[in-house]
Amino acid sequence: MVQEKVGVYVCHCGSNIAGVVDVGDVARFAAEELKDRGVALARDYTFMCSVSGQDMIERDIRELGLTRVVVAACSPHLHEATFRGACARAGLNPYLSEMASIREHVAWVHRDPQAATAKAKAIVAGTVARVLRNEPLQAIEVPIDARTLVVGGGIAGIQAALEVAEAGYDVHLIEREPSLGGHMAQFDKTFPTLDCAACILTPKMAAAGAHPKIHLHTWSEVEKVEGQVGDYTVHVRRKPRYVDADVCTGCGICVEKCPVVVVDDTFEAGIGYRKAIYWPFAQAVPNLPVLDPATCTYFVGGKGGCRACEKFCPTVPNSIRFDQHEEPLTLRVGNIILATGFDLFDARRVAQYGYGRLANVFTSLELERMCSAAGPTGGKVVLRDGHTTPRSVGIVHCVGSRDRNYNRHCSAICCMQSLKTAHLIKERTGAEVYDFYIDMRSPGKEYDEFYQRVLDDGVHFIRGKVAEISDVPLDPGEEDGRLYVQVEDTLAGLRRRIPVDMVVLSAALEPRRDSAEVGRIFGIACSTRGWFIEKHAKLDPVATMTEGVFVAGCAQGPKDIPASVAQGAAAAARVLNHIRQGVLSLEPVRAGVLAERCSGCRLCNGLCPFNAIRFDAEHGVSEINAALCQGCGTCVAACPAGAIQGSGFSDAQLYAQIDGLLADLRRQPAEAT
């Protein structure tokens, strides 16, 4: 047998590791005490991940003939690929290297240098023992299907879809609502430039709708996803529109003739109306009405309904199709971008602000619709009675954000949105505007300049968290019919009650209510609050831990439109990178059966959730389909005969690692008293 030569490299990471762990001592320990365990040399170095650090490893492999490499540094999730690359360049199989995490798991969580150094040594000893049992492996190569799935037709999803499609590849764009557009379509103006949201969004929606490479599936939801990067099978549920998309011309006569009028609590945020058959909004893409079976007389009442839409539909054959049902749709794609957006915080939850109880307390989204020229009030800012112009308006920041009772996070956009609202109200009504903020957050290009502009508009800024909004007059001079905003003005050091006619609550952005379930469907993780977790918070903000699934927009965390667009484009770039590579290398962590050891007990057969294990009745042995195996190793752990081998995480590696990790206890058996 070849004498193995292990090289151990202990990283200082500047002072990140060296500040707590005695890295020189760890290297000395490896060189001296692990000499008989195969360590040929051990070095410590300031930054192992630097070019010179990597060069050091490469040189040692070439010149000293190292056969295994251990790098004691940060988490393998950060730099495993770096050091594997260094080994590969020097001609060593990259899977003959291992990382020992002495930064995240030692230096950053322990303060006692002695205990931390002892633990670092144990980890290095365990990793050395393990790496000696590593086998040279070849990366698994998977072909990448060039088609892409984008889930969510808001601005982030539209941008992502357009980028991929423009590069010449097919995109399936799935949207849960009947039209593309997302939240941005509901907005009137966008900060800080005051561009009309519809004016900048509509061309993008139209481009996505008309693009020959974008296959639009609105009013549809993903039910199930199978497969892995390069080859996903996606099961989609298409909800019935009750309108034949192939025939309908979008003339709108059905909508005009429909006698049923209901409150539109989706697009118009509850302050406008729609018919039972309706357009989601004027610029909807696709330009098709949708029929709501919960309010249409054909479906409710049981008397066959008025069928006015059907009677007046001018197309031949008739576009109204009461017999439509949910339809399944199966798509094959190679990569997935999730841009599922956010939910707006329900302001009713903050009872003391009176939303839902006090008529003239509005949410920021209601105000957006009110400001929109295409909205229910034709762009007029009026009280709930529909005609009175407010003389004074209060705007409350951080409703449901930065509040331990609801969400601790900052929703990132509300300060700017509130400033925009203040400006629009001032412009349209000339009212006195009071803006109640905790901290003013305007870090963005031209954002603080916009704040200055609104200050110049004469808006009154009061720094303090609003305690209560009440319609009950308390102090002398207060009258009925107004709202009183109770607040501590923390700059003036005063308790104040400000009378206003209208209050606008800047509600928080929250994760989608079903984000945990959506995460499960796509095999990615959510934070405890429900935002999707990116692979790395700073360096890999659009990838996820699941290869081939990317995130963009507010589904990953609250952000404004420019950031959503940038993330959508970034996710698309990552997908295009996969597509252009054509074949992707995956971790060769797979299970396999040694047929000669398999007794055919079939214990493993029921353990695989991916149906990768089949029983070969003819030969009386179980076998594993490598294409379906995901490498979890559950069957390896279960096999009573040790017939299933797990590459990369073999029994031999893990036993050796346990042994190495605990070797110091054998050296000092008298320590425990």
Residues making contact with other proteins (CB under 8 A): 75-77, 101, 103-112, 115-116, 118-119, 122-123, 126, 516, 519-520, 523, 525-528, 533, 545-546, 589, 607, 609-610, 630-634, 636-638, 646, 648-649, 651, 654-655, 657-659, 661-662, 665-666, 672-673
Q: How far is the CB of 188 from other proteins (least distance, A)?
A: 35
| Torsion (CA) 316, 321, 327, 332 in degrees, nearest 10 | 30
Which of residues 412 and 524 has its CB atom nearest to other proteins in the complex? 524
Q: How far is the CB of 127 from other proteins (least distance, A)?
A: 10
Q: How far is the CB of 528 from other proteins (least distance, A)?
A: 5
Which of residues 105 and 482 has its CB atom nearest to other proteins in the complex? 105
Q: How far is CA 288 from CA 216, 249, 277, 315, 574, in A?
A: 13, 8, 10, 13, 33
Q: How far is the CB of 645 from other proteins (least distance, A)?
A: 12
Q: How far is the CB of 516 from other proteins (least distance, A)?
A: 8
Q: How far is the CB of 653 from other proteins (least distance, A)?
A: 10
CB 448 within 8 A of CB 421: no
Give me the sheet containing 327-333, strands edge to edge.
Answer: 220-228, 231-238, 327-333
How many C-alpha atoms does 328 have within 13 Å on its Cβ side?
6
Q: How far is the CB of 116 from other proteins (least distance, A)?
A: 6
The kind and range of the H/E element at 426 are helix 414-429
Contacts 24+ apart (CB under 8 A), 651-660: 652/133, 653/130, 653/133, 653/134, 654/130, 656/129, 656/130, 656/132, 656/133, 657/126, 657/127, 657/129, 657/130, 658/126, 659/126, 659/129, 660/37, 660/122, 660/125, 660/126, 660/127, 660/128, 660/129, 660/130
Q: Which H, E and C letters describe 560-623, residue by residue?
A: CHHHHHHHHHHHHHHHHHHHHHCEEEECCCCEEECCCCCCCCCCCCCCCCCCCEEEECCCCEEE
Q: How far is the CB of 201 from other proteins (least distance, A)?
A: 32
Which of residues 103 and 275 has its CB atom nearest to other proteins in the complex? 103
Q: Spell 269-293 as b/e; 16+ CB within 10 A means b.
A: bbbbebbbbbbbbebbbbbbbbbbe
Which of residues 3 and 528 has its CB atom nearest to other proteins in the complex? 528
Please state, in angstroms and rounded to a whole number, the distance separating the CA atoms of residues 10 and 20.
13
CB 435 within 8 A of CB 465: no
SS3 state of residue 31 = helix
**Regarding beta strands 342-344 and 335-338, do their DSSP bridges make them parallel or antiparallel, or are they unpaired?**
unpaired
Please state, in angstroms and rounded to a whole number, the distance separating the CA atoms of residues 339 and 595.
45
Which of residues 536 and 580 has its CB atom nearest to other proteins in the complex? 536
Which of residues 119 and 420 has its CB atom nearest to other proteins in the complex? 119
Q: How far is the CB of 48 from other proteins (least distance, A)?
A: 17
Q: How far is the CB of 659 from other proteins (least distance, A)?
A: 6
Which of residues 121 and 441 has its CB atom nearest to other proteins in the complex? 121
Q: How far is the CB of 283 from other proteins (least distance, A)?
A: 38
Which of residues 359 and 665 has its CB atom nearest to other proteins in the complex? 665
Helices (H) and strands (E) in the chain, counts: 16, 34
End-to-end CA distance of the chain: 41
Q: How far is the CB of 509 from other proteins (least distance, A)?
A: 18
Which of residues 47 and 108 has its CB atom nearest to other proteins in the complex? 108
CA angle 347, 350, 353 (to 5 degrees): 90
Which of residues 121 and 172 has its CB atom nearest to other proteins in the complex? 121
Please state, in angstroms and rounded to a whole number, the distance separating the CA atoms of residues 594 and 644.
6
Which of residues 228 and 295 has its CB atom nearest to other proteins in the complex? 228
Q: How far is the CB of 241 from other proteins (least distance, A)?
A: 33
Please state, in angstroms and rounded to a whole number, the distance separating the CA atoms of residues 54 and 12.
14
Give me the sheet containing 97-101, strands edge to edge.
Answer: 39-45, 6-11, 68-73, 97-101
Which of residues 417 and 650 has its CB atom nearest to other proteins in the complex? 650
Which of residues 16 and 417 has its CB atom nearest to other proteins in the complex? 16
CB 505 within 8 A of CB 362: yes
Residue 605 tokens read as 């057969």
Which of residues 140 and 502 has its CB atom nearest to other proteins in the complex? 140
Q: How far is the CB of 540 from other proteins (least distance, A)?
A: 13
Please state, in angstroms and rounded to a whole number, the distance separating the CA atoms of residues 507 and 99.
45
| Torsion (CA) 395, 397, 400, 403 in degrees, nearest 10 | -140
